[in-house]
Structure formats: C-alpha cells, structure tokens
Structure 1
Amino acid sequence: MRADWSWQLHQGAAVVYVIWFAVAVPLAVAGLLLEPRWVGWMVLAWFLVLIVFTLALRVGDSRRRRSWAEAAAEQGWRLSASGPELRDRWPFPPFDGDPRAQVIDVTTGRHRGREFWTGRFRHKVRRRDLGFDFLDLQVDRPLPPLQVLPAGLAPVAAASFLPLKLTVPDLQAQYQLFNGREDHAMAVLHPRAVEALADVPPFGFSCEGRRFVAILPAYRESVTALAQLNAACDLLDLMPEQIWREGEQWAATEH
C-alpha cells in the first residue's frame, strides 16, 4: 500500500469514511432492488466492518508502540512524547514546507557510535495531513545537499522539487532524485551501499551540511525499524570520501 494511503487509513482521515460510503451506498441500492428487508442489515454489517477495521488498526499501533518501547529500553535509548526543538535542525526539504509541522514519538540514543534521533513527522501538504518516520544520524563532516526517495515515499514526504528518475541496479524500488546532483546520488548509491539497502524495505534520505536524515514509511514493526537503522548507519559508513569533500566545499561556499 502507498505510504500516503497507509497514513490516511491509520489516522482515520476523511478518506476512510469516503471509502465506507462509496461501498455503503451501492450496498443499500442493491438491497432495495433485491430485497428491501435486508437493506438495514447489509448497511449495519458494513458499519461493523468499519468498526472492526478501525479497532484492528488501533490494536496494531498499540502493539508496535509497545514493541518499540521494549526494544528501546533494552538498548538504553530514551523516549519522549515530542521534540519541537528538532524541527529547527532541518531547514531543507521535506521538513521546511509546513511551519506548523509536528515532531512526535521521539527516541534518542546512541547506536554504532553515533547519536541519533528518530520519531514521526506530521505535516500538511495541500490541505492533506500526512506524515512519515524520520531518523536523524550524527555526522561529523558536512554533506552536499541531496534528497533521494523511493517513489512510494514521495507523496507522503512531499518533496518540493520535480523528481529525476534514478536507475539503480539491484534495487527493486524505483528511486528518484528530488534535490542535489545526479552524480552525487549515484556516488552515494554505489554497489556496496546498494547491498545494504537491498536487505531492508525501501527508505530515502535528505542531507545538507551536518545533517543526514533517513525518511521512512510510518507504522513499521520494531524489527524493520532496527534493520533500517543499521542500513542507514551502513549508508553513512560507506559514504565515499568524494562526497565528504564535496560537502566540505559546499559548506565553505555557504559561509
């Protein structure tokens, strides 16, 4: 399922009720044509489907939160309800598009020698409430501006530039470049980095200066989240020296 559709369903957005009515109306019409006595029962049954579906989503979300809290406690990481100060860390797309965006469900800690911040980013895109998970990893040297996303994440991350299709062998997902240079993107996605990314569900990243943020689909299982954390660390560990030098040159021109 597309990341933006999944977000809408989990959030109980209006689209959920639009879908419900889109099915309920034909059911009612069919009931009137076939057997009027059953109209009420058919609509009631479909209403119960909506309730069960909503409860299943809530139970699943609660289970995922509990599983992540247990995993974080085992690692000695810290959880907090929100982190509004984090928004000031990312003055680049897709984080700077909505001044009223929220950062919630924040976890902070240290993994493989790096400080990290992870949580959920909520924002509004053309009147639609959307969101995704983020993973901000500590970097000690600047990186050039670059934003690479799998096509499935583009609608929910709402990248602000027109995408350029990237052809990355051995990766099933279609990746797109939304900001930065194509040669930089292909240098970052070299064969060893692709090996690390191929083992986990697709995710993207935005970087600029001393900021590297992985952009991930929301509502993941803790096992998937931990695997993607390791893959993002691998991506940084395998970052070519050429990219670090390009980042230092870019940073020198910005100051």
Structure 2
Amino acid sequence: MAWQVHEGAAIVYVVWFVVAVPLAIIGLLLEPRWVGWVVMAWFVVLVVFTVALRIGDSRRRREWVDAAGQLGWRVSASGDELLERWPFPPFDTDPKADVVDVTSGRHRGREFWTGRFRHKVRRRELGFDFLDLQVDRPLPPLQILPAGLAPVAAASLLPLPVEVDGLQTQYRLYNGREDHARAVLHPRAVAALADVPPFGFSCEGRRFVAILPAYRDSGTALAQLDAACDLLDLMPEQVWRAGEQWAASQQES
C-alpha cells in the first residue's frame, strides 16, 4: 500500500472518489449550495497530500545522496544490467521490470549494489528497495520475506509460515527448504535483525539480495545494510555447504 500511495497509483484516486461521492451526497442533502466547495476542498486535500509526499521523497533522496557521497559510494540513475544477476523470484517474473536510483560501493569488505526495483504482478504495479551483497561462496535457493512484503513474492509461490523466537514480525518461506531457513535465522542472526525494521532476502548461488520496504530514511537504510552484512557474516557453515552441493548439482545437470 505504501508503494501504491507514493507512486501515485490508481488506488489513490479510487480512495479519493470513494470519499468524494459520499461527501457530495451529504452536501446535496444538507446544503446544495456548498457541494462544489466541499468537493473542491477535498480535491485540495489530495493535492496537498501528493505534494507533501513528493517533498518527503525528494528530501530522503538528497539525504541518501549526501550520505553516499561521504562514504565514497557511487550513485546512478539506473542499473538495468543488475537484472541479469537475479535468476530467482520476483526478479525473473516481469521482463519489463526496471531498476532505478542505484548506489554501489563497498561496505565492511563487501561490494554491494542497492536501489529500487519496479515490476508488475498480474497488472499490479509493485516495487521495493533491494540490496545486492557480494558473496564468495554459493548459497542454496532460499527466499524469506516478512508478511508485509508478501506481495513482492512470485504469485505462483505458496508461503510457509516460519515462526522465529525473538522477532515480532511473522516471516514466510517462499522458496527453499525449511531447515535451511531455520538454520539462517539462528539466535545471533535474529538479534541482528531485531534491531532494524523487518526486511527479507532471496539467495541462489552467488547471489544474495535483501528485499526492503521502499521510501526509508538514510539512517534506516544504513542500519539495514549493516544487518544484512551481519546476516551473511553469521551464516552457518551448514548452509554454505548446502549451497556448494546445490551449485555442484546444477553444473552436473
């Protein structure tokens, strides 16, 4: 819903009309002379709301560019070449998907790329922020998302609830094995995730992409970058071995 609102999707105008029609009817019943002014006032509310969102988005973008500049990272308008790096859902579900507002650099010894991913699921415009982190060893196929990010998962995938002690948000497994998911979300990893707003991740082979809610402030984005690095640093050896076995099986097939 946040994405739809910020992007000015059709649902925003549907909500406006849903409220405007009852206002007009009430105005006609109570005082017909004021109907036009009531509808105009409600239209002004829509305009002010839209302008406020744009100003907020612009402020967040400037703050991020300033923070990236101070840390020596590179910011570019688009990065369609990144789409070739992600062979797993939801990145492979829409051939017309695009990547914008890309930032690349190095953090805690890892190369990373972060930005905004826009795509469609059954004609519905969706999007989220992503964080692609360098990994030196292959990982098994796995996609774990908090319930709030469920709409960005591939529509054909059926979620399996994953209860995690120490996290209030319910997580769901969309791809991969449950024992791998529970191994990744061990107590030390949970402690790192508990300190930041919820986010999910997809991995397969030498690809690890954190999936995050869009329109975050720079402080939250930097904290989640650290948490994602912690998740990789704390990845159990058994998961790495499972990834190497999966990669070997893919080469044989």
Normalized against structure 1, the TM-score is what? 0.97
**Is 1:156 aligned with 2:175?**
no
> Could you tell me how far 1:156 is from its partner in structure 2?
3.2
1:36-51 to 2 correspondences below 5 Å: 36-51=32-47
- Displacement, 1:37? 1.1
Deviation string 1:73-109 (CA, Å, 9 cap, x unpaired) is 0100000000011000001111000011001100000
Look up the match of 2:245.
249
Per the alignment, residue 58 of structure 2 pairs with: 62
1:39 CA displacement? 0.5
- After superposition, the Cα gap between the structure-2 partners of 1:60 and 1:157, relative to the gap in structure 1 and judged at 3 Å, is farther
Q: Which runs of 5+ in 2 are unaligned?
A: none
Aligned counterpart in structure 2 of residue 132 of structure 1, from 128, 132, 140: 128
Contact 1:143 1:248 in 2 (8 A): yes
Q: Is 2:153–2:174's contact at 8 Å kept on the other side of the alignment?
A: no
* Residue 208 of structure 1: aligned partner: 204
The C-alpha deviation readout for 1:107-145, integer Å capped at 9, x for no partner, is 000000000000000001100111000000000000000
What amino acid sits opposite 1:176 in the alignment?
A: R
Query: What letter matches 1:169 in structure 2?
Result: D
Q: Percent identity?
A: 80
The normalised TM-score by structure 2 is: 0.98
> Considering only aligned residues, what root-mean-square deviation do their CA atoms show, in Å?
0.7
1:83-102 equivalent positions in 2, closer than 5 A: 83-102=79-98
Match of 2:178 among 142, 163, 182: 182
Of residues 71, 74, 93, the one that matches 1:75 is 71
Task: Kindly provide the amino acid, as one letter, of the partner of residue 108 in structure 2.
Answer: R
Deviation at 1:159, TM superposition (A): 5.4
1:104-123 residue pairs with structure 2 within 5 A? 104-123=100-119
Aligned length: 251
Deviation per residue, 1:21-67 (Å, 9 max, x gap): 00000000000001111111110110000000000000000000000
Cα distance in structure 1, aligned partners of 2:198 and 2:18? 32
Q: C-alpha separation between the residues in 1 aligned to 2:174 and 2:28? A: 51
2:165 to 166, 169, 176: 169
Shift of 1:161: 0.8
Change (3 A) 1:114 1:195: same
Counterpart contact for 1:108–1:117, Cα < 8 Å:
yes
**Are the structure 2 counterparts of residues 190 and 216 from structure 1 closer, same or farther at C-alpha, using a change threshold of 3 Å?**
same
2:235 alignment partner, one of 231, 235, 239: 239
Moved over 2 A (4+): 156-160
